[in-house]
């Protein structure tokens, strides 16, 4: 996956590229912490490579900043 991903179109293209490589990509929310203006979340993702069938598993930590009930960062 090369190049930049900007805006809504970039996010759509990123997901298309990700699902081309990992067609069974799934995520599970493990933990969410409300830190006031911020939310911290842990997600466990799993998939298998399209060409190799090799399993992939990782935990992703996500931090979101909220303003007016919208994620701004």
Collect all residues with Cβ–Cβ distance below 8 Å to 43 and sequence separation of at least 6.
27, 28, 29, 30, 59, 60, 61, 62
For the whole model, what pTM was predicted?
A: 0.71
Give the whole-angstrom CA distance, residue 47 versus residue 26.
6
Collect all residues with Cβ–Cβ distance below 8 Å to 55 and sequence separation of at least 6.
46, 47, 48
pLDDT-based confidence at 51, cuts 50/70/90?
Answer: very high
Mean of per-residue pLDDT scores for the chain = 93
Which whole number is the average pLDDT over 9-28?
A: 94
The DSSP output letter for 43 is: E
What is the domain partition of the chain in residue ranges? 24-71
Which whole number is the average pLDDT over 35-60?
A: 96
Token pair 């298998």 in the structure block, residue? 48
Helix (H, G, I), strand (E, B) or coil at 49: coil
pLDDT at 22 over 70: yes
């Amino acid at each position: 996956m090369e190049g930049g991903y900007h805006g809504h179109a970039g996010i759509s293209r990123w997901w298309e590229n990700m699902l081309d490589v990992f067609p069974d990509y799934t995520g599970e929310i493990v933990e969410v912490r409300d830190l006031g203006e911020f939310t911290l979340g842990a997600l466990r993702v799993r998939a298998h490579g399209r060409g190799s069938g090799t399993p992939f598993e990782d935990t992703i930590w996500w931090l979101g900043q909220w303003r007016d009930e919208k994620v701004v960062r």
